[in-house]
Each structure stands twice: as C-alpha cells, then as structure tokens.
Structure 1
Amino acid sequence: MNFQLGNIYHGFKLIEMKEVNEINSLYRLFQHEKSGARLMNLQNDDHNKVFAIGFRTPPNDDTGVAHIMEHSVLCGSRKFPIKDPFVELAKGSLNTFLNAMTYPDKTVYPVASMNEQDFFNLMDVYLDAVFYPNIYKYPEILMQEGWHYELNQKEEDVTYKGVVYNEMKGAFSSPEDVLYRNIEKTLFPDTCYGYESGGDPVSIPNLTYNEFLDFHKKYYHPSNSYIYLYGNGDLDSQLQFIDEGYLDNFNKIEIDSSIELQKGFEEPKEIESEYAISDKDDCVDKTYLNLNFVVGENTDKENYLAFNILEYLLLETSAAPLKKALIDANLGKDVFGFYDSSIRQPIFSIVVKNSNVEEKERFKEVVVDTLTDLVKNGIDKKLIEGGLNAKEFALREADTRSYPKGLVHFSKAMSSWLYDEQPLIHIEYEETLKIVKKALNTNYFEELIEKHLLNNNHSSLIVLKPKKGLAEEKIQSIKDKLKKYKESLSEEQMEKLISDTKALIERQQSGETEEDLRKVPLLSLEDIDPNIEEIFVDEQEEQGVKIISREDFTNKIVYSRMLFNSTGVDFNDLPYVGLLSNVLGGVDTEKHNYMDLANEINIATGGIGFSAVTYMKNGDADTFYPRFNIRSKVLSSKIEILNELIIEIINTSKFDDKKRLKEIIQEMKSRLEMAIYDSGHLVAANRNFVYFSKGSHYDDIISGLEFYKFIVDIDKNFDSKWQQVAEKLNQVSKKIFNKNNLTLALTCDKEDFIKVKNHLPHFINNLNDDKIEYNSYNIVLSQKNEALLTQSDVQYVTKGFNFIKLGYKYSGSLLVLKTISSLDYLWNKVRVLGGAYGSFATFGRSGNMVLASYRDPNLKETLDIYDDMKTYLENFDVDTREMTKYIIGTISNLDTPLTPSMKLDKAISCYMSGVSNEDLQRERNEVLNTSPEKIREFSKMVEAVMKENSICVLGNEIKIKENKDLFNELVDIFNF
C-alpha cells in the first residue's frame, strides 16, 4: 500500500516518513487522532516481525509499583480471562520473543514472530492485557505477583510472599546491584530516577491495592503509549487491527508522565553504604569504590554515540588508559565501568572492586590525574582509531544474537522518543559517526572529558563496604516487623488474613474453564513446517587441516572458528586451558605490548575471542570432545591481517609478565564472583551435572566452580605460584596450538571463501607440527550433593541425573516435556504457589536432566515439588487442542531465527557432537507427534531420576543450615 504524508489510515495520521539507510528500512511515524497514541513503523524485509507497546511510567516511591504492574497486567484480561495468558502464549505460540521489561522510567511489552497470524494473536493478547487487565477484578493478582502477608493458621508466623518481592530480594543480594541502586539514588535525588522502579524489598510491602490500581489508571492509557511495528508485515492490516480492536475505544486525554531533569549539583555527593558478607569472610579487599557523572541528556545524539565510544576507550579495551592507571595504582583487584544511556540523563560510571575504604581519596586522585593527563597530552590516536572501528563494526554488523533486531531498534528509538524527541536520532548513526570521527584529528574526546568529567559537579562518590552479619540483621528485622504486625492484629483481622491467604491459594490452584482457555488464540499444526532447516556444511581439507564451511550472505564479513583439539593437555593441567583462554590477547607478544595489540585487533577486525569449549557426543554423557576455540570476525579484505594477528598471539604471547598476569587473575576472580551472584541457577545446575556426567565434570574444571577454586588459589598464593603458572601456560599453549589439532570452521560468501582458502597455507605453515599424544581422561564421578552457601536472600534449587545412564533414551518428545514441565507444572507449583521468580527443566541429548528454580524463597518445599512431578505426569491428560499448544510452543524454540554467525555455531555443535540432519528431522517429527500417552510414559523416567537424589542448592546460609540434613557437604563458595 502506498502511504502518503498527512493522510489518515484507520485513525492513524501519518506525520513523518523517510528511508533509513543504516538499517535498510522505511520509517513512518503516526499519531492516532482519537486516542492520542503514537505509533512508529520500520518496514523492511525482515521476516521476524516485532510488535511492542510501551508506557512512560516514572515511579514516585520504592514500592516497585511499575515492576509489579508489568507482571500483573499479564495475569488475565477482558478477552482472555484465564489467570496467565502470558504463559499460555509461551506454551503455544510460534513467538521468537515474548517478554516484558520495567526500566527506571518506562515499561515495555515486546513480542516477535515470523508467522503472520501468530503475530496478530500476540498483539491481541498484549494489547488486551495492558488496556483491560483483570487487576480490577482480582486483588489476588497483586498478592501473587507483588506481595502479601501469608498466614495459613493462627499458630504460624506471618510471612511475606510475592514473585516480585522475591525477585528483588535476589537482586539486592548482589553487591553490584546494591551499588547500581545507590548510583541513581545519589545522582537523581529529586526525580523519578532516585526511586527503585523494580522495588526495594523493604518498601514493596508498603504498596496498597488502591495505589496499585491508581498507577494503572494514570499511566496505562493510549495517550501515554508508544506503539511499535517492525518487519515485513502488512502495515495496513496491523493499523486496522490496533485501531478497531483497541484504540478506537479511547479518547485522548492529558497525562502528566513527564520525566523531570535533575538540577546539577553545586558540589559532588559522597555516601557510604553496606552489603552483606559471611561472618567467616575477611573485610579486607572487599570494598567497592565508585565515581559517577551525569553527562548531558541522551537526546543529544552526538554525546550519546561519543560517550558509548569513550567509555570503551577508557575502561573496556585492554589498552584502556583509565583502567590501566587504576590497576597500576594497586587500588583494587578489578576495574570496570559503564555508560548508561537508557535514561534521560545518562551516567558515566567508574568502579574499582575489591578495594578498601581508606583508598577513597587516592581513588579520586588517580581518576582526576589520569583524565587531566589525557586532556593535556592527548589520547593515543591508535587507541581512538581502534575504538571507533570496533564500535562501527558492531553498528554495521547489527548482530544482536539474544534479541530480535527489531527490538534493538525499538530500544534505541525509545532513548529519544520517550523524551519527546525524534525516534530515529540514535538509529541514523552515519552523520553522527562522521562527526565523532573528528577525534582522529582533533581533541574531540579530550574536550568531552574536560567538560563532562573533570569540570562536572553533578557527580557522586560511593563507597560500598562489606558488613558481617548484615544478612542476618535483615532477616531478623523482617521477622521482628512481621511478629509485631501479627501481635497488632485483632482476632477478626487475623481471621481475615487467614481467609485472604486461603482465597489466594484457592485461586492459584483453581483450573481454567474450557471456554476461557479456548479464548486464547492458537495456530494449528498445519501452520508449522514439518521439515527442519538443514544445516549444510561443506567439508574439505587443506594441508592436513579439516575445513568445514557454510555458504551464507554475510555482507563481506568472514566468521571464523579455529577449533583446536585440547586433549593433548594432561589431566592435572586442564584448569590452565580455561586460564589460557582468558590470558591470550591480554598479554604482550613479541611484536606488541598488550595495549598496542588490542588497538591492532580493533583496527583490523571485528574482534578475536578465545574460549575453552566441550562438545558432548550425541546420546552419551561420558564421551566428550574438548576444543579450544578462537572466534573471529573480519571483513574479507582484511583476512590476511587477521591471520597474522592470530599467529602472533598463539605463537609469541609472553606469559611471564608477573604484574600483568596478576592483574588478569584478579580480574578473573572478580568476574567469576559476579557470575555466581548473577546466574546462581546455572551455577547450581552445572555443578549438579558434575556429579553424574564426565563431560560436565570437564567443563567444571575449565570454566565452572572447580575452575573458580583454581583461580582463587592462584590469587591467594600468587607470589609463590606465578612462575609455575607462566610455565604451565606456555606448555599448554604448545600442546594446543598444533597443526594436527586444528579444524577450521567458517561462514561467508562464496567468493570470500576462496580468499580465505588462499591465505590458509601461510597460516598453517606457521603452526607447530610436533607429534601430539592425546589423553583419555580418567574422570571419577562423585555425587557430592552440595549446598553452596552465600549471603543471598533467596535460593537456587536443583535436582537431576542422567536418564540415559538409567536406561532411557533421548527423544524429541522430551522437548515437549520441557515445555509442559517448565511452563505448567513447575510454573504453577514453584512460581505461582511457591513465590519463586522462575523455574525450568532441561533434558539434554547427552541425557543430562535437571529441574531448577530461580530466586526461590523455599528449599525443601521445592525439592518435594520436584519429587512429585512423577505424579503429575502419571495423571497427565489433555485434549487435542492443549497438546497442540504444547507442541507449537516447543517448535517456536526450535525455530528461533539465527544470524549467519549463530548458524555457524549450531553447525559446528552438530558436527562435533555427531548430530546429523536426519537426527534433527527425527527430533522434529517426534515433537510433532508427541501425545499425552507419550508424556505419561516419561513419569517413570522422571521418578527414576528423582530417586537418584542428586541435588545442588546455592543460596542463603541460614536457610541452608536449617536444612543441612539434605546435603553431604556445605560449601562456603566465597571462602575456598
């Protein structure tokens, strides 16, 4: 259809239109005349269509009302009155993305699908949810998703329960999250950013039902909305659907949701705050020092891009001068930072981790002195060139991997659109990039530093220090508060509380009527392609090196994976394989110091990365193929330079620089600690696998908890061990980087493959060709059943085993079981009734199975739920429509759109693991033919797995010790 400026289409007036060359899209901006809604469209040939609706939702307290609302509107609506249509969509749509997110000043509801009818279904459910939610009918929705007092009988203690309450208890257990919370609190005391939009667990119970409803009435109106459509869909039909189904029911109103600017400070702010550590922990070297600056407004497109690059130059790349100065000053063990441009007044932040309170003044001095020196003497132009090239490569490649491309563009648009500016200012980057590139010949970045960092009083210094017993104090404070509350209740009030608790549980446990379930739209199996997208791999050989390749349109980018067999490394030296992957590229070589090397990599390539990986043999938990992977991406015109850089790194890296090696070890320890806090569910699940899978045991040694223990030991005893470490790295490197170990995998255009192949002989000839003796690792498995103690306020509870070892086989129907168990049984039992933030199940090709919870207030109760899953499966009986829903939801996970780089990784994984196209087709057929009878058959397998009683829990020390009889070992993981 030919849209014309100024014309009205289904109530939408077209007010802007233009081509956007950067993303090969046609942009249109509409205003809905009757309701006041804004709508942005990016039309292009992307089949992965995206719809989103967002609202400006500035909080005015710490109750987390915006976050709780985000959860709650998805719990049933006018047209879809079931308790959880969001989960029904996750079970039974072909969505490629389905989520909702709360930010400090906005709430967004994005979905994506490649199927046209499915896309309309998703829009329908989400629009009905935000405009007509059931929160007005059922106070229990706030109780479940936000918070409530729980009391089942008079003799019990009153407790707090609620999904968001437990989610934020988990979030506030991480010292980094405590720090990030304090940053906005100090910088924006007079605006919405001074409040915690996610909710502070201390304040969440202050939210009343009326305040909750008032928030929705005020902000969830089309006049306060930002609607987005992306992809190759039929825009006319989409506009008609949105208008006739929803917006035409509303009249435009004035809504004050403006985001105020924080007035600049006359003097910088300073605060001290605390986070919890164990009584056994040492307070020395556990403090965070943090400097923050408010740097303009994010509607300044030049500043927005420039500071994204400047933060990378100063703090991220190995050549970063500010990071180096702070490390050289021996202020702490790790340095990092960020530029947060997601809010109206962006923040530039500098963090030193594992420092001490008395270093505060010196920290400020080093930052100021370093920045002053950079302004006076200039930033190395090669560093600037490398930083600019790295960011430009990322902009042009637009490989988002974890998010649909359209959603990334929506996020960028909202960074200006939300503040009443043109939505494209951060998407159309070409002209802005040209301006920023002036930095190659001028003092562009130096002037930014002087203006926004050195001469800027709108800043804060935060000292976050450890405190022993803080976690216990918080727990006791809550207990005392709840005890006092219970004592204040009259008999009538106590009966009411018991009655309310009962009413919530009854609603949570009640089933849905067939009539209501059928109101949620569902595709048919005929809408699904029964055939897989085959993973085509061409296999060749060059001078004894195997080459596997995929031809794909990559816009002149060559994606390469150099996979070196690492089984030549002795078993006792395996942790050094993981260490090597973190050291390479970060130490000097014969030609370059590590800072110059980082610049050369950024100037010539899109990045070179190193990782130790393991591929499990299809259908076998104990046969695995360890590989050392060198990942790279480069324009085909620079393939020769890439090869020279890789040869230089793997052949001439210097591991005997004591100072540099210590810096890397300290940073690794810090980042591994962060990962334990951020991904407790994965830490616990992967550790559980170690008890019964040799491949997982190997993974643990090179990148898991055993590897973390290895790094902690080196850090503690560095002076006595560093020479041994350097020697081992050298030995391990020689055993890995050998011509006889190499398999090369790549994807690119056909003509570019010829270029790559022409440069291969030179690369291969520069590899070591010594004879390698390969090891068969004698890994002894042991069921440790560990409890991993932390100061977290929540648990991550896992239980599993290997079903192949118990005589069962992998089947595609297990993927349907994963959908059913994750989004039905575990969702209802662990999340809805138990109050955990999340739960999931996995059933791998190698036989590894685990049930897991995320930010869970419970422990033993969750394990009991896992054990009783067999009963649920024994009685599993659904009609054809419900079974179809589970199958479609499973297929949506199989059919996630992949970039060329991701397709290469999938092809490599299948190739290494021995998974053929025939296996993938068989798996898909088994998914499509899964029946209720087949799901019931899995009850015996699940029962057998649970009887093995293999558990691992990461969580609160007090809670774990109350249940210590469940475990063989209690491990304080931060005190190895």
Structure 2
Amino acid sequence: MQFEINKSYHGFKLIDEYPINEINSMAKVFEHEKSGARLLHLGNDDDNKVFSVSFRTPPSDSTGVPHIIEHCVLSGSRKYLTKEPFMDMVKGSLNTFINAMTFDDKTMYPIASRNEKDFYNLMDVYLDAVFYPKIYDIPEIFMQEGWHYDLHNKDEKITCKGVVYNEMRGAYSSPSTILEEEVSQSLFPDTCYKYSSGGDPDVIPDLTVEDFKDFHRKFYHPSNSYIYLYGNGDIEKQLQFINDEYLSNFERKFIDSALTLQAPFKEKKECTTYYAISEDEPSENRTYLSANFVFGEFADAKTYLMVNILKNLLIESSAAPLKNALIDKGIGEDILFMNSEGIQPSISFVAKHTSDDKKAEFENIVFSTLKKLVAEGIDKKLIESCINIVEYNLREAEKFPTKGLIYNIISLDSWLYDSHPTTHLQYEKVINDLRSKIDTGYFEKFIEDNIINNPHHSIVVMNPQKGLSEEKAVALEKRLDEYKASLTDEQINRLIEENTVLKEKQLAPDTPEAVATIPKLSVSDVDPKAASIPQEVIKEDDVTLLFHNIFSNNISYVDFLFDVGMIDEELIPYITLLSDIIGDVDTKSYTYSELSNEIYMSTGGIDLSSAVYVENGNDKLYYPKFIISGKAIGDKTITLLELIKELTTSSKLDDKKRVKELIQQIKSKLEMHIYDRGNSVVSNRVSSYFSPASKYSESLNGLDYFWFICNTIENFDTNSDNILANLNKVYNSIFNINNLIISFTGDKKDFDLFRENFTIATSTLNKNKLESKTYDFKETKLNEGIQSSANVQYVAKGFNFKNLGYDYHGSMNVLRMMLNGEYLHDRVRAKGGAYGVGITFTRTGDVTVASYRDPNLKETLKVYDDAAQYIKNLTMDQETLTKFIIGAMSQVDRATTPHMKGEIATQNYIRNISQADIQRERDELLNTKPEEIKVLAELLEKVMEMDYCCVLGNDNTIKENEDAFNKLVKLNK
C-alpha cells in the first residue's frame, strides 16, 4: 500500500516518509490526530518484529516512582485479570524480547516476536497495561512491587520489603551506582537528572500511594507517548489495531513533561560523598576521583557521536592518552569513563582506587594531558580507529540480537527531546563528515571548547567508609521502630491484616476466569522442525575449518579456538589472564598503543577469551579453549589475519610495569561486575563443587579467577619474575596448530578469500605435539557463605542429576519454565522480595537455582527445597501445560545475530551435539506430558537433598546464618 504525506490512516496522520539506508528500512513518522500520540514505523524485511510504547517520565524526587510504576502497571489491567499478565506472557509466549526499562527521563515497554499472533497478543497486553492498569484498584500491587511495611504479628519488628526496594538496595551495593548518582547531582542540580529515577533505597519508603497514582495519571497518556513499530509486519493492520483498541478512546491533552536544560555553571563544583566497605576491608587507596563535564545537547548528531568517540579516544582504547597518563603517574588502579543519559550529555573521567590526597594531581594530569593533546595534535590513527569503533557498534546494533530494540532506544535519544526521531539512525553522513575533519583540528578544538575551557564541570571525591552499612541499618531500624511506636493498636492490626491479605494474594492461584483472559498460543503455532545452522567442516593443513554460510551484512566473523588441555592445573588461571593481557602489551612490531590503532583502523576489533566446552551429556569430559575472535569487511580480513599472527607469535610479556597495570585494571573490572552478575557467580560456584567441567571453569572465569587476580596483584612486586615466567610458558604452549579449530561466519565470497589466506595466521604457529593433562577435580561440598559489603544476597543451590542416575530430557525445559514462571517467581520474588530467581537444567546434568538481589537467605533455600513437593502436588492438564511448552520454546528459539549463530554451531561441533540431538530435544519438549513433569519431581527432590549451596551476600546476614554453611569466606580476602 502506498502512503501519502499529510493523509490519515486509521487516525494516524503521516508526517514524513523516507528511506534509512544505514538500517535498510523505510521510516514513516505519524501523529495520532485525536490523542496526540507520536508513532515511528521502521519497515523492512526483518521478521523479528518489535513494538514499544514509551513515555517521558521526569522524576521530581528519588523515591523511584517511575521505576515502581514500570513494575506495577504490568501486574494486571482492564482486560487481563491475572495477578501478573507480564509473567503469564513470559510463560506462554514465543517472544524474542519482553521487558520494561526505566531510564533517567523515560520509561519504555518493548516486546518482540517473530510470530504474528503472538506479536499482537503482546502488543495488546502492553497497551492495556500502560493505559488501563489495576494499580488504582489493587493496593497490593504497589506493596509487592514497590515497597511496604512488613509486619505479621504485633511483637515482631517492622521491616521494609518490595521488589524495587530490594533491587535498588542491590544496585546501591555497587560504588559505581553511588558515584553516578553523586555526579548527576553535582552537574544537574536544577533539573530532574539530580534525582534517582530507579529509586534511592533510603528514600523509596517516602513514596506514598497517592503520589504513585498521581505520577501515572500525569504521564501515562497517549499525548505523552512515543509508539514504535519495526519489522515486516502489516503497518495498516497495526495502525488500525492501535487506534481502534486504544488511542481512539483518548482526547489530546497538554502534559507538562518538558525536560529543562541545566543552566551552565560559571565555575566548577566540588563534592565529597561516601560508600560502604566492610570492617575487614582495607580503606587505603580505595577512593574514587571523578572529573565531570556537561556540553551540548544529546539531540545534536555530532555531539551524540562525539561522546562515544571521546570515550574510546581518551579512556577505553589501549592507546588512550588520558588513561595512560593517569595510570603512568599512579593515579588509581583503573581509569573509567562514564556518560549520562538525558537531554544534555555529560562525560566523566574516573580514577578508581586512589587516595583523596591525589585530587589536585588528578585534576592537573587531566587538564595538562588534554592541553598537550590540543597543542601537539591527537594521533590521527587513534582518531580514525575510534570513529571505526563507533561505526561498527552502530552497524551491528551493539551486537544485540533484537536489533529493532536498539534502533528504538537510539531513536528516543533525539525523539524524546523534541527533535527528529531518526536523527541518530541516519549516521553515515555524520560519520563521513567527522572522518573528513581528522586533519582539520576539529577534535582538538572540540576537547578545548567542551572540556578544557568548560566551566560546567565538577570534581567528585568518593571515599570509603567502614561501618556505613551498619550505620544505615541502625538508622533504618530506628526509623522503623519509631514508626511502629507511633501506631495505635488499631493501626498495627490493620497493618498486619494488610500484610496477611498481600501474602494470601501472592500465593493464591489466579481464578479460571482470570486465566481465561490471557491470550494463548497452541503448539501448532510452533515450527516442529528445529532450525539448522549451516556448517561445512573442512580439514585443511592440520586445521579444522568450520564455515557458516550466513548473511552478515558483508562482515566476516573469524574465531580461532586453540586447545589448552596441555596446561598444568596450577597454571589454568593464567589462560584467562593471558586473554586479558594480550593485545594490551607491546609486540615485536608495535607498541600496545600502535597495535590498538592498527586493529581498529582495519577491523571491527579483536577479542580474546577463554571457555570450557562440555561433552554432550558428560561433564567429566570437556574441552577448554583459548578463543581469538575478530571481524573485518572485505579484504581487510587479510589484515585481520596478519594482526592475529602478531598477537599469537610476537606478543612481549616482559614489561613488568605494564603487566602490573593491566592486572590492576582486570581486578577493578572484576570487582565492578561481581554484584551485577551475582546470581551467575554463585550458580557457577556451586556447580564447581560437584562438576569437573565447572571446577575448571571456576579457575578460568569464576571466583577462583578473581581471587587469583587479587593474590597476583598483591604479591606482584615480590613474585613478578615467576608471574611473567608462567605467562610466557602458557603463551608458548597454547598457540599451537594441533587441534586448532577456526570458525568463519559470513558470505561464500568472503570465506573463499579467507580460506586462501588463513595460513597467514597459522603457518608460524608452534607445531609440537603436546600431551593433554588429566586433572583430578574431586567432588567437594564446600557450601560457602561468601561475605561482602552487599546489602542483599545471591543464593544458589544445585547438583548433577546424572550422578544420581537420571538422563537429560527435553521436558526439563518445560519444568524450568514452570518453576521460574510460577513457583520460584511467586515465592522468591513476589513474596520474598528478591529482584529475580531462576533454575537451569543442562545437557550435562547440572541443575542450579539462584536468586538475584535477594533480601532473604534461609527462606530462599527452603523454597528451593520445597520445589519438588510443589510439583508432586500440582494438578495440571495438557492445556495448562501447553503455555509452559510455548514459553520454553521462546528460550530455545531465541533471537540470534549472525555471529551468534556461528558460535552456536561451533559449540555444537566441539561438544558433539548433532542436529538429531537438537531435534530430539525439541520433539521431547513439544510433546511433554503432565506425567513426565511429575516424574521430574523425584529428580528435583534428590538434587536438593544433596544440599550443595553457595551464597554471596551481606557480611552480617551471612554470619547470622552461619549454620547454613560449611565455611565462611571473605569476598575481598
């Protein structure tokens, strides 16, 4: 159908239409005439269709009201009457993405699906949720998802509970979160950006139910909405649905959601704040110093790209002069870059783990280094390489498989600020213009104007404080005690009754009538045939080539997988340390700065990592690998191969100063990420107690590796010769042609070029036959309580069911969905207040269940222990089971990028997983019967009876529950 500008289609007036070559899409910009809703449609041939509705939601305090509303509106609506339609759709949908996100100034509700019926179901559920939520009628929604006073008998103490409350307690366990909040307050004191839209846990309990409702009334109207459609769907049908079912019911109105600019500062500001560390953690050299700058507007295309270019140019690149200058002068273990969301961009240069008496020196080095760059000029190769990094990220949609969602977020980075919705999607002209300015002094002038001579900046000092967590806990307890003391007996009884009703509602099943309102798919909506990833296996010159003929937009993805089975057990952590160091040290031909420039001038980057591939069905047989992954376009693949050769044969591991700097930075990054992935940390840790493959993996990428890094840096000065000797020994062993697998993903013509030239990288590799080692990893029930300064817990339990005599079956995917979507969700998240929880079953037999940002410990372990009894007592028919089958299929048929497809096929090849195995699992999943689920209850019961557990959590909470563990361990030893 041809659309005409200024004509209306189902209430939507077409404002503009034009192609966007960068994303192979036709853009249509609409306005809904009656309601005032804005709509952007990006039409293309992508069958992974995306819908979202977003709202501008500037906070006016730090109670987290935008975040709490994001959670609450998905907990029942006008048409969808279950307790949590969102979770019901997760359980029974073929979605490729479903979530909701709160940003500093907006809230997004995106979904994606390849199945058209499912797409409309999801779109309907989300539109009904945001415009007609049950939050006005059911107070327990706010209590569960936001916060509430928890009291069940008059003699106990009052506590605070709530999903968002505990999520943010976990978030505020991270120093980086506290620093980001302080930086925003320092830079934007007169705007909404000084507040925490997610919610400061100290302030969240100030939010009243009425203020919560008023926020929704004000901002959740079509006149304040930004609707987005992407993919190959029928646009006319989509517009008709949105208009007829929703927008036609609303009148246009003025909503004051304007985002104001912060007036420029006349002089810099200085601020000091604090973060908590435990009593036994060292406080020396644990300060954060941050230099922060505001300039321009995010809607400006050049400024938007320059923020990310500066990130790489000054800090992230190995050649980054500002980072290198600060590290060289010993200002911090690591130098970080932060940038804000919002109408005005800000950038921050952060020295992590330094001392506050270095503040003046830190400032001096920042400004003197930048002034020197301006005076002498920036390395042109560095500028070009940083532009290339940004361009690759845009072209690959940040490697996210549902790329339509990334385009949606990018569109809002201009659209939300009353600029054109596709400003940042049409990036080629701006990129080319910036490239043309490399030799003109543009980048130097940009730094001079926006950083050096910019009075709108701040210096933030964040110091560690022992006992701060305890102080806050005491203050909270006092506040709660005083609140309880202020209540009459009648008010206390009413509070107990409210909590009783909440608990009953959380655990009560939805009525059949409510369940009937949730849209359903059938098994017939699922393709019974498993997708097959193309893979050609070629043996050539002692190397196994795996070719995946997949359209990749002319990008060649190359993965070298080196066998590391010859490494001695005590040297296993050096494999990952090597992957973290190579590419950031000098080689025979380049300094590390020159090497970084060469890599990014010609390629999309080279990543190094380590992994363990476990034999299909046998965790005692596994294949550890060192992986070099690179990507390039056209004949630049030859340059990529030359650079891989340089890395594998010419890296120099003799510079003690540089290696020490890198290990300090590795430690810094590991510390920052532990709390963000705490559930994975404890899940992998508990698996290592009973799984040989997981034990090996712990040494590569788990807590054992973290502790190895901590010990290495602590003893580096006295043990550096031995450390470098071990690195060189591992380096000289693993870059060996024997058992080498090279995976290529891309077009046939690009593979032919690669095949003709891959020996560039392999001809000089070591050809000595090295004997594989046998490791004696014994099953050990460590059951550790890992003590930290976190405000919450990450609670894991598990065992290997093959060790108990059971075999893997596709129906385990269905059981996983049932437990995650109902039993665990209801008891650990909804009732318990944890932010998340999940169980997994692997082909190799591992069962692990872990919670995320959990206020509880023993209560959660008991929930795990009772899971089998829940399954035994469950009454279900085939129709009920079908929704879980559908939900499980959404995880099996998840969205993937071209490179991800190649990685999956390669993994299956190494693990000896055949297409027949994949199809058999799919058949078993699709044909799961209620009795098969019942049988699995016995397996689950025996797994939990083995009583293997691991918890990472708050120091005091771990101590209070010491009897749950065999040993207590400090996270920061």
TM-score (norm 1): 0.99
What letter matches 1:905 in structure 2? E
Rounded Cα–Cα distance in structure 1 between residues aligned with 2:641 and 2:535: 22
**1:279-318 alignment to 2 at 5 Å?**
279-318=279-318
Q: Is 2:1 the partner of 1:6? A: no
* Aligned residues between the structures: 973
Aligned to 1:253: 253
Secondary structure in 2 aligned to 1:69? helix
Rounded Cα–Cα distance in structure 2 between residues aligned with 1:516 and 1:493: 32
Aligned to 1:24: 24
Pick closer, same or farther for the CA change 1:400–1:885 going to 2, 3 Å: farther
Rounded Cα–Cα distance in structure 2 between residues aligned with 1:812 and 1:535: 20
Contact kept, 8 Å, 1:876 with 1:935, in 2: the verdict is no
Q: 1:232-258 CA distances to partner (integer Å, 9 max, x unpaired)?
A: 000000000000000000100111000
Secondary structure in 2 aligned to 1:312? helix
Q: 1:458-500 CA distances to partner (integer Å, 9 max, x unpaired)?
A: 1111111111111111111111111111111111111111111
Secondary structure in 1 aligned to 2:46? coil
Secondary structure in 2 aligned to 1:622? strand
Aligned to 2:418: 420
Contact kept, 8 Å, 1:384 with 1:439, in 2: the verdict is no
Name stretches of at least 5 consecutive residues in structure 1 with no aligned partner: none
Aligned match of 2:650 in 629, 644, 652? 652
Q: Is 2:359 the partner of 1:360? A: yes
Q: Is 2:377 the partner of 1:378? A: yes
Aligned to 1:15: 15
Contact kept, 8 Å, 1:306 with 1:436, in 2: the verdict is no
Aligned-pair CA distance for 1:799? 0.7
Aligned to 2:345: 346
Contact kept, 8 Å, 1:560 with 1:633, in 2: the verdict is yes
Contact kept, 8 Å, 2:566 with 2:772, in 1: the verdict is yes
Contact kept, 8 Å, 2:131 with 2:221, in 1: the verdict is yes
Between 385-394 and 243-252, report the one with greater CA deviation: 385-394
Aligned to 1:916: 914
> Percent identity, aligned pairs only?
48
Aligned-pair CA distance for 1:760? 2.5
Rounded Cα–Cα distance in structure 2 between residues aligned with 1:25 and 1:536: 27
- The RMSD of aligned alpha carbons is 1.0
Q: 1:200-250 CA distances to partner (integer Å, 9 max, x unpaired)?
A: 111111111111111111000001100000000000000000000000001
Rounded Cα–Cα distance in structure 2 between residues aligned with 1:390 and 1:402: 16
Aligned match of 2:845 in 824, 844, 847? 847
What letter matches 2:155 in structure 1? E
Rounded Cα–Cα distance in structure 2 between residues aligned with 1:762 and 1:497: 73
Aligned-pair CA distance for 1:787? 0.6
Rounded Cα–Cα distance in structure 1 between residues aligned with 2:800 and 2:221: 50
Aligned to 1:830: 828
Aligned to 1:525: 523
Aligned to 1:513: 511
Aligned-pair CA distance for 1:700? 0.8
**1:711-726 alignment to 2 at 5 Å?**
711-726=709-724
Aligned-pair CA distance for 1:556? 2.4
Q: 1:402-426 CA distances to partner (integer Å, 9 max, x unpaired)?
A: 4511111111110111111111110
Between 502-511 and 30-39, report the one with greater CA deviation: 502-511
Q: 1:151-181 CA distances to partner (integer Å, 9 max, x unpaired)?
A: 1111111111111000000100111111111
Contact kept, 8 Å, 1:401 with 1:902, in 2: the verdict is no
Aligned to 2:60: 60
Contact kept, 8 Å, 2:507 with 2:827, in 1: the verdict is no
Name stretches of at least 5 consecutive residues in structure 2 with no aligned partner: none
Between 703-712 and 686-695, report the one with greater CA deviation: 703-712
Contact kept, 8 Å, 2:631 with 2:637, in 1: the verdict is no
Aligned to 1:411: 409
**1:777-792 alignment to 2 at 5 Å?**
777-792=775-790
What letter matches 2:845 in structure 1? G
Rounded Cα–Cα distance in structure 2 between residues aligned with 1:490 and 1:861: 30
Rounded Cα–Cα distance in structure 1 between residues aligned with 2:347 and 2:285: 24
Q: 1:254-299 CA distances to partner (integer Å, 9 max, x unpaired)?
A: 1100001111111111111111111111110111111111121101
Contact kept, 8 Å, 2:301 with 2:430, in 1: the verdict is yes
Contact kept, 8 Å, 1:540 with 1:547, in 2: the verdict is yes
Secondary structure in 2 aligned to 1:499? helix
Aligned match of 1:754 in 752, 770, 793? 752
Rounded Cα–Cα distance in structure 2 between residues aligned with 1:388 and 1:222: 38
What letter matches 2:430 in structure 1? T
Aligned to 2:209: 209
Secondary structure in 2 aligned to 1:28? strand
Aligned to 2:159: 159
Aligned to 2:579: 581
Contact kept, 8 Å, 1:310 with 1:445, in 2: the verdict is no
Contact kept, 8 Å, 1:621 with 1:802, in 2: the verdict is no
Q: Is 2:459 the partner of 1:455? A: no
Rounded Cα–Cα distance in structure 2 between residues aligned with 1:414 and 1:186: 25
Rounded Cα–Cα distance in structure 2 between residues aligned with 1:638 and 1:222: 48
Between 626-635 and 775-784, report the one with greater CA deviation: 775-784
Q: 1:342-375 CA distances to partner (integer Å, 9 max, x unpaired)?
A: 3101111111101011111110000000001011
What letter matches 1:228 in structure 2? Y
What letter matches 1:800 in structure 2? G
Q: Is 2:571 the partner of 1:556? A: no
Aligned to 2:188: 188
Aligned to 1:394: 393
Aligned to 2:170: 170
Secondary structure in 1 aligned to 2:107? strand
Aligned-pair CA distance for 1:339? 3.1
Rounded Cα–Cα distance in structure 2 between residues aligned with 1:365 and 1:781: 54
Q: Is 2:234 the partner of 1:237? A: no
Q: Is 2:934 the partner of 1:936? A: yes
**1:40-189 alignment to 2 at 5 Å?**
40-189=40-189
Secondary structure in 2 aligned to 1:691? helix
Aligned to 1:709: 707
Rounded Cα–Cα distance in structure 1 between residues aligned with 2:214 and 2:570: 62
Aligned match of 2:738 in 734, 737, 740? 740
Between 117-126 and 757-766, report the one with greater CA deviation: 757-766
Contact kept, 8 Å, 2:400 with 2:406, in 1: the verdict is no
Aligned-pair CA distance for 1:378? 0.7
Runs of at least 4 residues off by over 6 Å = none
Aligned to 2:614: 616
Aligned-pair CA distance for 1:897? 2.3
Q: Is 2:693 the partner of 1:671? A: no
What letter matches 1:379 in structure 2? I
TM-score (norm 2): 0.99
Q: Is 2:859 the partner of 1:861? A: yes
Contact kept, 8 Å, 2:690 with 2:778, in 1: the verdict is no
Aligned to 2:473: 475
Q: 1:480-528 CA distances to partner (integer Å, 9 max, x unpaired)?
A: 1111111111111111111111111122122211121111111111111
Secondary structure in 2 aligned to 1:50? strand
Contact kept, 8 Å, 1:560 with 1:746, in 2: the verdict is yes
Q: 1:505-560 CA distances to partner (integer Å, 9 max, x unpaired)?
A: 12212221112111111111111100001133211111111111111122322111
Pick closer, same or farther for the CA change 1:606–1:79 going to 2, 3 Å: same
Contact kept, 8 Å, 2:401 with 2:895, in 1: the verdict is no
Q: 1:68-92 CA distances to partner (integer Å, 9 max, x unpaired)?
A: 0000000000000111000000000
Contact kept, 8 Å, 2:288 with 2:355, in 1: the verdict is yes
Q: Is 2:544 the partner of 1:536? A: no
Rounded Cα–Cα distance in structure 1 between residues aligned with 2:614 and 2:570: 21
Q: 1:923-950 CA distances to partner (integer Å, 9 max, x unpaired)?
A: 0001101122111111110110001100
Contact kept, 8 Å, 1:401 with 1:898, in 2: the verdict is no
Q: Is 2:685 the partner of 1:700? A: no
Q: 1:656-695 CA distances to partner (integer Å, 9 max, x unpaired)?
A: 1011001101001111111112211111111111100011
Secondary structure in 1 aligned to 2:279? coil
Aligned to 2:904: 906
Aligned to 2:950: 952
